[in-house]
Structure 1
Amino acid sequence: MNLHDLQTFEAVAALGSFTKAAETMHTVQSNVTARIKSLEDEFKVTLFTRTSRRVELTTAGETLIKYCRHIGQTIEEAKRELSETSQVSGIIRIGTMETSLSMKLPGVINRFTDHYPDVEIEVKSAFTGVLTNDVLNYKLDLAFVAAPIASPELQEKVIKKDKLVIITASEHTSLKDYLKKQPVKIIVFDQGCSFRARLESWLNAKGVVSYRRTVMNSWEGIISFVEGGMGMTIVPEDLLLQHYAKRKIKVHEINKELGTLTTVLVYRKDLPQSRAMKAFIEMYA
């Protein structure tokens, strides 16, 4: 086994095809097949299931691809450490939730790139579960996610605590009265959103198990629907004050347990940190 074998394996996994992997690697398909067979013989496992349309990773293949990404990142970092002196460069892949933090992140990145112009930043916005899995699977270097994160493989740094409030259209002055309406209507992000989970937990605690959801994909859409009387939602108070203070909505306080969202910065414990990643963590956290 050598590094080229692993790179070939990664290409087949990414493209789902021996033929396409051969084209990408500038070789012939028989060479790709031989390299994959060599890996399977060495590890004594089957790495791919083959169908008429594409090839897919087996469970063993999923395990090996994680190690390949780990090895690849470690080698690239070693190259940078050996070839540079004090220069901070490279790529940082960052994940963030759709919160007030994501609205502040462009300013943070702007300040960071002013200090470190040779660093390239890639940003992905998604829900906590997706971002956490991406960090665990080496697809992201770090991510801003909602605590708690139950993973011994990840290091966590508390970034901020958001106070959450429930909002309704301005004419609804009492949540108690609002919950008497049938059906109760809520405006939320898709399944997997931390705010949606908090709101549904709050409703369940109030004995409301049946409600009608409208799913949106942006805070602007959610706020507009709430303002128009289409339903209620839960939102960081800081987000309201910064961006939606003049909207015709009513803010309702909730208990501290469900009304506090802790944002943490997570990254893998086992990966060596690049100079760029260390600099970003120090600047932000």
Structure 2
Amino acid sequence: MDLTDLHVFRTVVESGGITAAANRLHRVQSNVTARIQKLEEDLGTQLFVRVGKRLQITPAGRTLLDYAHRLLVLADEARNAVQTDAPPRGLLTLGTMESTAGVRLPGPLAEYHRRYAEVRVELHTGSPRELMAKVLAGESDAALVAEPVSDARLSSLAVFDEELVLVTVADHPVVRKPADLREASVLAFHPGCPHRERLERWFGQGGREIARTVELASYHVMLGCVAAGMGAALMPRSVLDGYAARSKLREHKLPAPFQRAKTLLVWRKDQPQAKVSALAEILTKRKRVA
């Protein structure tokens, strides 16, 4: 079915006939008639019957009218959703790192929902590499990832500035360099995690090899394992501050090159969208307030 044919069909019904619909659509009557006939051929059913000099819609036509209205409304929504100057609406698929989702996003997303009720948000987590790949493939509208972002196809905006801390069990002595750790065991996310890579560089510059890396998928689990003495972990301080058993842990500051990391909102340069711009505005405003 062609949307133009559905529009003509709906106009004929609303106008009460071919002549009135042709005037309303600024078309000749023969063109309107041809559109209706084409639609009937596509559907294999009669949409109107002539009763005297008037057209009367058939039961099949009345059924189609409801679908035609919904399809045309949906088409308008889709058209508006991809316009950068239109009000945000539709589905926003947002990728994010696990720490950002748990600590940084609840407030901004709540504000986004209040301001843009016509947008549905779908959130998924992953490593920065995975998240950026999904944005580039068109599977996500935007993503929140740790720096650096070097792909020229992506636009980026710094929205969070995280302080990173090394976390150990509470009774561990102060750690200033890798040699200060009792054991060279670390707890981290899978390869590709920027915090894991940062921790590995810190060990490398300190001249000590990591003896064992325990890969985990949750900061909550990671902190529990650190508290149990399984090793050390590097994470945003904002994650540690929200941990219920904070007294069982000790934080250690690392040297400046390893101490801070920016979180960036990224999206495709060639696919700007109003719903992403709206999120960027909220995140930027909250950054200024903070």
TM-score (norm 2): 0.65
* Contact persistence 2:187–2:233 (CA under 8 A): yes
- Number of residue pairs matched? 209
1:283 matched residue in structure 2 = 282
2:41 matched residue in structure 1 = none
1:129 matched residue in structure 2 = 129
2:169 matched residue in structure 1 = 169
* Contact persistence 1:100–1:238 (CA under 8 A): no
Q: Residue deviations 1:187-223, cap 9 Å, x none?
A: 1111111111111111111111241111111011110
Equivalent positions of 1:194-213 (< 5 A) are: 194-213=194-213
The one-letter amino acid paired with 2:114 is D
Q: Residue deviations 1:170-195, cap 9 Å, x none?
A: 11113269736775111111111111
1:42 matched residue in structure 2 = none
Change (3 A) 1:120 1:179: same
2:89 matched residue in structure 1 = 89
Equivalent positions of 1:1-285 (< 5 A) are: 79-80=79-80, 87-100=87-100, 102-175=102-175, 179=179, 184-244=184-244, 246-273=246-273, 275-285=274-284
SS in 1 for 2:98: coil
The one-letter amino acid paired with 2:276 is M
Change (3 A) 1:214 1:115: same
The one-letter amino acid paired with 1:175 is V
Alpha-carbon distance in structure 1 between the residues aligned to 2:176 and 2:276: 48
SS in 2 for 1:231: coil
* Contact persistence 1:97–1:128 (CA under 8 A): yes
Q: Which has the larger radius of gyration?
A: 2
Q: Residue deviations 1:56-79, cap 9 Å, x none?
A: xxxxxxxxxxxxxxxxxxx99872
Alpha-carbon distance in structure 2 between the residues aligned to 1:82 and 1:216: 38
* Contact persistence 2:178–2:202 (CA under 8 A): no
Alpha-carbon distance in structure 1 between the residues aligned to 2:239 and 2:157: 21
The one-letter amino acid paired with 1:130 is E
Change (3 A) 1:284 1:217: same
Give aligned-pair identity as a percent: 27
Change (3 A) 1:186 1:114: same
The one-letter amino acid paired with 1:157 is L
Alpha-carbon distance in structure 2 between the residues aligned to 1:76 and 1:198: 47
Alpha-carbon distance in structure 2 between the residues aligned to 1:236 and 1:142: 22
1:37 matched residue in structure 2 = none
2:44 matched residue in structure 1 = none
Change (3 A) 1:176 1:93: closer
Change (3 A) 1:176 1:120: closer
Structure 2: gaps of 5 or more residues: 1-74, 285-290
SS in 2 for 1:240: helix
SS in 1 for 2:143: strand
* Contact persistence 1:172–1:178 (CA under 8 A): no
Structure 1: gaps of 5 or more residues: 1-74
SS in 2 for 1:168: strand
Alpha-carbon distance in structure 1 between the residues aligned to 2:82 and 2:262: 38
The one-letter amino acid paired with 1:276 is K
* Contact persistence 2:174–2:180 (CA under 8 A): no
